[in-house]
Amino acid sequence: MKSLEFKTVVHDGMIEIPKDVPEIKEKEVKVTLVWDDRNEKNYDVSKIEMILSEIRNQKVFEGIKNPSAWQKDIRNDWE
């Protein structure tokens, strides 16, 4: 089995195979598509902002004067 890797842009669902690879003409091939999705979001920013706002309104952390000391005390409770 052979493999070929190249970059291209999909146009209307079509992928153009490089013309300098004639040995794959009229052959069945297995295609794996890999694309960069770093700019795609799988979350709703407005929902996250709403939840954070609700947490702020509950003033859960209002009594913490020294966050570092509070974290250290919490860790000591685990031991």
Say whether pLDDT at 79 is over 70.
no
Say whether pLDDT at 76 is over 70.
yes
68 pLDDT band (50/70/90 cuts)?
A: very high
Q: How far apart are CA 40 and CA 57, in angstroms?
A: 30
Percent of the chain with pLDDT over 70: 96
Q: How far apart are CA 11 and CA 34, in angstroms?
A: 15
Map out the domains of the chain as residue ranges.
38-78
pTM metric for this prediction = 0.41
pLDDT (tens digit per residue) in 29-56: 999 998 887 777 778 889 999 999 998 8
